[in-house]
Amino acid sequence: MTVEVKVPILPESVSEATVAAWHKKVGDSVSIDENIVDIETEKVVLEVPSMVNGVIKEIRFGPQTDEHDYEFKKKHAIKFLQDGAKLKAFVFFKGRSIIFKEQGQILLLKLAQELEEYGKVEQLPKLEGKRMIMFIAPKKIK
C-alpha cells in the first residue's frame, strides 16, 4: 500500500515552510486522517494528515558507501517495496563529508534506477540540511 503525504497548498504570501515536528517515526503504522507532520511557516503551523493507511521504511547510506553495503541495503529496499511499504532512502552527511553531496546524489539516483521495476520515485534526491532524501513508492500489484 502506498503512503502519500500531500503538503497543503500554501498561499503566495508564504515563501518558505519547514517541518516543525514529525508525529510518527519510520515503521509506525498510520491511520487515515491522523496527523503525521506539522509544517511551520512564518505565519502559521499546518498539520498534514495521512491520506491512507500504511508504513514508511527507511534506508540510510553514507556518501561513500561501498558496493557490498549498497547491495545489502538494496536487497532490503526491494523487500520493503514488495511488502507494499513506501521507502525513504537518504544519505547522511557528517561534518566535512557534505563536500561529497554529488556522490550522495549519484548513489540515490543509482538506487532509483535499479529499483525501477519494484517502485517509482515520488521525490527525486533533495538536500535538506545534512540529509539528501529520496522517496520511492511501491508499484501497484496487478
Going along the chain from its start, the domains and CATH numbers come out as 1-53 (2.40.50.100), 56-138 (3.30.110.10)
* Distant-in-sequence contacts of 126-133, Cβ < 8 A, 24+ apart: 127/101, 130/92, 130/93, 130/94, 130/98, 131/90, 131/91, 131/92, 131/93, 132/90, 132/91, 132/93, 132/101, 132/104, 132/105, 132/108, 133/88, 133/89, 133/90
* Structure confidence at residue 2 as a pLDDT band (50, 70, 90): very low
Average of pLDDT values for 9-36? 63
Cell numbers standing for residue 69 = 553495503
Q: What pLDDT does residue 76 have?
A: 94
CB 93 within 8 A of CB 64: no
Look at residue 110 and tell me whether its pLDDT is greater than 70: yes
Report the residue count for the chain: 142
